[in-house]
Chains A and B, each alone.
Chain A
Amino acid sequence: MQELLQSIASGIVVGSLYSLVGVGIVVIYKSTHVFNFAQGGLLMLGGYLAWCFMEQGGMPIWLGLICGLGAAVAIGGLIERFGMRRLVGQPILSLIIVTLALEALIGGSVTLFWGDREYNVFPEFIPPQPVKFLGVVLSLQHMIIFASTICVIILFVLFFSYSKWGLDMRAVAEDHQAAMCMGISTKIVFMMAWMISTVLAYIGGVLLGSVNGVSTTLNHIAGNCFPVVLLGGLESIPGVLIAGLIVGVLEYLSGQYLDPIVGASTREIVPYIILILVLIIRPHGLFGLKRIERI
């Protein structure tokens, strides 16, 4: 019983991190229909930026975090301005390939600038103090990860449903030309989407970095985020939250109960098995938008 609760709790925490990174992918997909494969790279870059300002730049923690945030916003803007905007009007596949190139570029640049040293430890800004709750032990860092994910997701759901910017982004996602005819600047919307997405990646990178330190393998988390995003349905933010939690919990449960039976680590493949099963039954994911077709 104790093990079960512990697995579920750890799964929820890890899953919420998947969701946080996934929301970044969803925001871009929702407004531009580009699947951003570079999200993992951006997350790693975010971690490195924060670490660079705080440790290498010797800034106080709060200043380092703010500078990192500013840099993340700028990078998001630059990617859109010089990478994506030039390809507007081209087949969507070429934009997706650009994000793949971006992932490679970011990975390479990080190694180039900061080397591929295994771990660069953050200054401690969240004490790694254990929190006990119902017999489950979690670190304070994990609690903060979970809480910030929930906050971010609630914020974005409200943003997309009620704010006029959110409405613009949803309109642009549906039909670029019609949105332009309504006086919406697609350029601004795209740029906003990329900035939001890099900021989310930055938050994810900082949170993850504060637990494990930053390293060039930080982007591997994205590998688990892709099934999460697809499972959630690509366009739904609450969907990503729920899918993230499902994948996280099942990962830990399989690690706890399936591994001893199989005699090997099943954690890595579980998300994909769930993904395949769900997509067979619901091709548009758990909460994705159905394609509306008139007959």
Chain B
Amino acid sequence: MLRLTNVEVMFNKVILVLRGVSLYVPPRSIVAILGANGAGKTTTLNAITGLIKTELGEITEGIIEFEGQALNTWATERIAQIGIAQVMEGRRLFSHLTIEDNLRVGARAKREKGSLKRDLDMIYGYFPTLRRMRSATAGYCSGGEQQMASIGRALMSDPKIMLLDEPSMGLSPILVQEIFRIIDTIHKDKGTSILLVEQNAPSALDVADRGYVMENGRIVLEGTRDELKENEDVKEFYMGLSNIGKKKSYRDVKHYRRRKRWL
């Protein structure tokens, strides 16, 4: 469905941020990209939706394909209209608009124009909180409500694939669970593919079918959910699960880089 082949992204014509990223999102699947800050996860998403062009970035190498079409040179709005919806990092709601107006804007990229009211009802079905807050100014809503509205807004366009950028950012563990439960429900109900970028590896790997681990603009590891969950390095660096119950020493932490098996 969505395939990236050896994608290189350069900013300002000098800073190479992605160094050959290849990944594949099959139809009706959830794929997670894990990685630390600055690994290039958000840039990968922005490369797909063309947003890097607004940030003086360009794809210098490789192909981004969606259903057989190369998207490299497409404008962001056109990419949105063929069914790729991005939920940007930090929610990015239109803060002076009401929640419902935000959702209405989301419907602008819909391919088949249908009943707006039915779409709104669908969103309110997934996120009952939003129905209560429908006429509230988005900027004054809580982080959880904003995240829900942001996902709802992307869902309004009835996308074929949703790119979620750190939906867990700044939310309490309970809310994170709630958001991931809803993401999973949406995926199962509508068959929407999801490309999920997360730092919160345990939550992401609970819903994802496959995962990629990024570091320094490269994919360093990939596998199915279970493979990644069992991988010693993922456990150590992303789940904090190794040596449970044992005493940890700073000396081990210091050796962290050397001990990574994929480098």
Contacts and interface: CB of A to CB of B under 8 A. Distances in A.
A167 B104 contact: yes
Given A89-B54, A89-B56, A171-B105, A180 B139 contact: no
Interface stretch (A129-137, A181-189, A197-205): A181-189
B137 A292 contact: yes
B51 A180 contact: yes
Contacts of A164: 104, 108
A171 B97 contact: yes
B81 A181 contact: no
30 contacts: A164-B108, A168-B108, A170-B96, A170-B97, A171-B105, A174-B96, A174-B97, A175-B94, A177-B54, A177-B76, A178-B93, A179-B105, A180-B51, A180-B54, A180-B75, A180-B76, A180-B77, A181-B51, A181-B85, A181-B86, A181-B154, A182-B105, A183-B77, A183-B109, A183-B157, A184-B77, A185-B77, A289-B96, A292-B137, A294-B139
Contacts of B92: 175, 177-178
Given A183-B108, A292-B137, A178 B97 contact: no
A168 B51 contact: no
Q: What 8 pairs between A and B have smallest CB-CB spacing? A: A183-B109, A292-B139, A183-B80, A180-B76, A174-B94, A178-B92, A171-B105, A183-B81
Contacts of B153: 182
Interface string B168-192: 0000000000000000000000000
B106 interface: yes
Contacts of A174: 94-97
Contacts of A170: 94, 96-97, 101
A230 B137 CA distance: 23
B256 interface: no
A167 to B, nearest CB: 6
Contacts of A183: 77-78, 80-81, 108-109, 157
Contacts of B137: 292
A292 B56 CA distance: 28
A230 B88 CA distance: 32
A85 interface: no
A181 B49 contact: yes
A167 B54 contact: no
B17 to A, nearest CB: 17
B237 interface: no
> Which of A178, A180, A181 has its CB near the most chain B CB atoms (within 10 A)?
A181
Size bracket of the B interface: 20 to 34
Interface of B: 49, 51, 54, 56, 75-78, 80-81, 85-86, 88, 92-97, 101, 104-106, 108-109, 137, 139-140, 143, 153-154, 157
Nearest to B94: A174
Interface residues of A, number: 22
A81 interface: no
A177 B55 CA distance: 10
Contacts of B49: 181
A182 B106 contact: yes
Contacts of B77: 180, 183-186
Contacts of A289: 96
Contacts of B93: 178
A176 interface: yes
A138 B75 CA distance: 54
Contacts of B154: 181
Of the listed residues B76, B86, B95, B97, the one surrounded by the most CB atoms of chain A closer than 10 A to its CB is B76
B51 A182 contact: no
A234 to B, nearest CB: 13
Nearest to A164: B108
Contacts of A178: 88, 92-94
Contacts of A182: 80, 105-106, 108-109, 153, 157
Contacts of A292: 95-96, 137, 139-140
Interface in A268-295: 289, 292, 294
A181 B94 contact: no
A178 B150 CA distance: 10
A294 B104 CA distance: 24
Interface in A146-190: 164, 167-168, 170-171, 174-186
